[in-house]
A = this chain, B = another copy of it.
Amino acid sequence: RVALESPARLTLGAFALTILLFTGLLSLPFATTTGHRAPFIDALFTSTSAVCVTGLVTVDTGTFWSPWGLAIIGLAIKVGGLGIMTLASLAGLAVSRRLGLTQRILAAGESRASGLGDLASLLRTVIIVSTSVELLIAAFLIPRFLTLDYGLAKSFGYSLFYGVSAFNNAGFTPDPVGLYPYAGDAWILVPIGLGVFIGGLGYPVYLNLIRQWRNPRRWSLHTKLTLVTVTVLAFISAAFLAVFEWTNPDTLGDHSSGKTIGNIFFQSINQRSGGFASFDIGLAREQTWLLEDVLMFVGGGSGSTAGGIRVTTLAVLVLAAWAEARGRRDIEAFGKRIGTEVLRVAVSITLMGLFVVIVTTGIFMWQTDIALDRALYEVVSAYATCGLSTGITGSLDSDAKMTLIITMYLGRVGSLTLASALMLNRQRRVIRYPSERPIIG
């Protein structure tokens, strides 16, 4: 009930507390490999990045943090991810319950779940789905790491860490140099890539798919929009990546065709929000950075741990432009009408995102004297909680790190709060006609 009544304060406070808690844990001496306390700003940065499942790092995760430190980071990702999924889904549920009023009057057969029942079942589904996928990814990875002679403890630890990091779209890697050494290793990239893809769809899609797996026609508009948009974006970005990077010897140019295509798709899935990279983004062409700026800004699915303005927000904007171009009175998709109030939410979220990104980029450039290309990439990555970087994060001073910390918090918690607040902010609604809305933001 509290969560439904003041989601904004709850979200803002809970995340701030969680971040501080994990900052404290990461400040313990045994969290680092050297046994010395981590600098406060780096502990805070890592904790924020983990809880917000962003993946930007100021210190190399695999070499700076001890196994204890890695466990703390993994736990922070798990806790942050659960919180994000639950709160984002709560807002979505609350909206669909309120909007559902009219639909229930029309279609009286629907069962009415109580608020608490919904919350409990939501939490249960979120925990079951996320933990299952995480364990599944780990189960696939363990034998591979064993065959690479990583030893039993490290194989299990790494696999679990990758499972949690992948499903929650966190992008943290326990390996010192990230995934570059596995660029040709489908056994590792495929489970991680699938985990990122599934994790980026979001709870409302899982719930719908679990209930209606066999009846694609009865999938909700939200599910269809999410699936179509992520698929279209994956192929568009793969095509552009192929154009830009196929001949770049510093990234994919020296691979075989098959390996290049595999890495292109891995990257095209990860660049929206996953944050894993199988090649060095810092050596990619500038056009690739620009492409990824756009894709990171769009982000993943609503109610998922992926960030950005969310794919359904983009879909609604494009559908509105499409309806306008065709002279249609209503915004339509898959035989459903999308209310104009949804377009307004989409516009609000997009404007807010553009505003924060542009202002923060200006501040960041002022603080660091870094040029627009890398600065924009870094800020979009922080705001959209993507976690990819052109390689500048580690060498920033404390002020610039603090800017990114605030951007990560704003991008994650601010967006969550804004979306919830906007979607719940519908007191004076007048019943007009049945309409179905995808969840925005």
What residues make up the interface of A, taking CB atoms closer than 8 Å to B? Answer: 286-287, 289-291, 294, 317-318, 320-321, 323-329, 331, 340-341, 343-345, 347-348, 351-352, 358, 361-362, 365-366, 371-373, 376, 422, 425-430
Chain B residues within an 8 Å CB radius of A365: 286-287, 290
Q: Are the CB atoms of B325 and A372 closer together than 8 Å?
A: no
CA distance A287 to B367 in the complex (A): 11
Q: Are the CB atoms of B348 and A325 closer together than 8 Å?
A: yes
CA distance A365 to B372 in the complex (A): 14
Q: Are the CB atoms of A344 and B323 closer together than 8 Å?
A: yes
Quote the shortest CB–CB distance from A311 to chain B (angstroms). 15
Chain B residues within an 8 Å CB radius of A347: 317, 320-321, 324, 343, 347
Chain B residues within an 8 Å CB radius of A287: 362, 365-366
Q: Are the CB atoms of A344 and B372 closer together than 8 Å?
A: no
Known: A324-B422, A365-B287. A329 touches B376 (CB 8 A): no
> Can you pick out 7 interface pairs between chain A and chain B where the beta carbons lie within 8 Å of each other?
A286-B372, A317-B347, A318-B351, A321-B348, A324-B422, A343-B347, A372-B373
Task: Given contact pairs A326-B425, A371-B373, enumerate 6 new A-B contacts (beta carbons under 8 Å).
Answer: A286-B372, A290-B365, A317-B347, A331-B344, A343-B344, A371-B371
Q: Are the CB atoms of A329 and B428 closer together than 8 Å?
A: yes
Quote the shortest CB–CB distance from A233 to chain B (angstroms). 14
Known: A340-B343, A347-B320. A371 touches B327 (CB 8 A): no
Chain B residues within an 8 Å CB radius of A327: 425-428
Chain B residues within an 8 Å CB radius of A348: 320-321, 324-325
Closest residue of B by beta carbon distance from A426? B327
CA distance A372 to B284 in the complex (A): 14
Q: A286, A347, A371 — which one has the most chain B CB atoms within 10 A of its CB?
A: A347
- Contact pick for A351, options B290, B321, B376, CB 8 Å: B321
**Complex A-B, nearest 9 residue pairs according to Cβ-Cβ distance, in ascending order:** A340-B340, A372-B373, A321-B348, A327-B425, A324-B344, A324-B348, A287-B362, A320-B347, A320-B344
- Contact pick for A321, options B323, B352, B376, CB 8 Å: B352
Q: Are the CB atoms of A321 and B343 closer together than 8 Å?
A: no
Chain B residues within an 8 Å CB radius of A376: 372
Q: Are the CB atoms of B321 and A344 closer together than 8 Å?
A: yes
Closest residue of B by beta carbon distance from A423? B324
Quote the shortest CB–CB distance from A152 to chain B (angstroms). 47
CA distance A318 to B347 in the complex (A): 8
CA distance A365 to B373 in the complex (A): 11
Quote the shortest CB–CB distance from A313 to chain B (angstroms). 11
CA distance A365 to B348 in the complex (A): 31
CA distance A331 to B343 in the complex (A): 12
Quote the shortest CB–CB distance from A416 to chain B (angstroms). 16
Q: Are the CB atoms of A372 and B290 closer together than 8 Å?
A: yes
CA distance A419 to B289 in the complex (A): 31
- Contact pick for A324, options B289, B290, B321, B425, CB 8 Å: B425
Chain B residues within an 8 Å CB radius of A340: 340, 343-344
Chain B residues within an 8 Å CB radius of A289: 372
Known: A340-B340, A343-B344, A373-B371. A358 touches B290 (CB 8 A): yes
Closest residue of B by beta carbon distance from A318? B351
CA distance A425 to B422 in the complex (A): 31
CA distance A324 to B341 in the complex (A): 8
Closest residue of B by beta carbon distance from A314? B351
Known: A324-B345, A344-B343. A317 touches B361 (CB 8 A): no
CA distance A292 to B324 in the complex (A): 29
Chain B residues within an 8 Å CB radius of A371: 286, 371-373
Quote the shortest CB–CB distance from A322 to chain B (angstroms). 9
Chain B residues within an 8 Å CB radius of A352: 321
CA distance A22 to B332 in the complex (A): 45
Q: A291, A365, A428 — which one has the most chain B CB atoms within 10 A of its CB?
A: A365
